[in-house]
Amino acid sequence: MKIGILGTGHVGKALAAAWAAAGHDIVFGSRRADDTELRAELATAINGKVAVMDPAGAVAAADVVVNATPGTASVPLLETVGAPALAGKVVLDVAVGFREDNTLSHPVESLGEEIQRTFPEARVVKTLCTVDAIVMVAPGSLEGPSTVFLSGDDADAKHTVSGLLHDLGWPPEALLDLGGIDTARGQEHYSMLFIALAGALSSYGFGMRVVLPGKS
């Protein structure tokens, strides 16, 4: 599968390296596509040759588009690509937006919902935003099982994303489908608790697990 990753930060690089290792073709979308230093940096990150295009080119070339851009910049960037280019595409959204004062940029409507509303023919699935980049691509590094969530309106898109999560090492029992894209609010709002936990634990390398009541 060809995966177009919008965003060249640590999340985009980590996901690219893991999916490339699983056999997927990676293309990065960046406004700095002609920057030779960036190209070398990305090639090092995935330990091989890398394709870097402008965002529109990366979207056009991809079967699945991954939004790993800063959440406050995601929609403006996608608007430069245009709704027709995103129509029918699976958009795997991992971003969360923060303002300069460290409050959420999307306190009511989630970023995932805004992307779906702005690009109604795209097939948006929110996932992975409840863990750090290290755990995203190495859930087996945790001491025990963890849970990762999916939110989206398109069942086939969720199936595709589930396969990509399996390729990152998330077993089927770790995936929890929360329902429609409106449930992305819960995933994004967890980021505030995540930050508090990271401070208390002095680490970002943790997961969370949904535990059901025991049988009486």
Compute the average pLDDT of residues 11-32: 94
pLDDT averaged over every residue in the chain: 95
Compute the average pLDDT of residues 145-156: 98
Which has more pLDDT, 30 or 64? 64
CATH of the domain spanning 2-201: 3.40.50.720
pLDDT at 216 over 70: no
Q: Give domain limits for the chain.
A: 2-201
| pLDDT for position 196 | 96
pLDDT at 50 over 70: yes
pTM: 0.95
The strand pair at 148-152 and 123-127 is best described as antiparallel
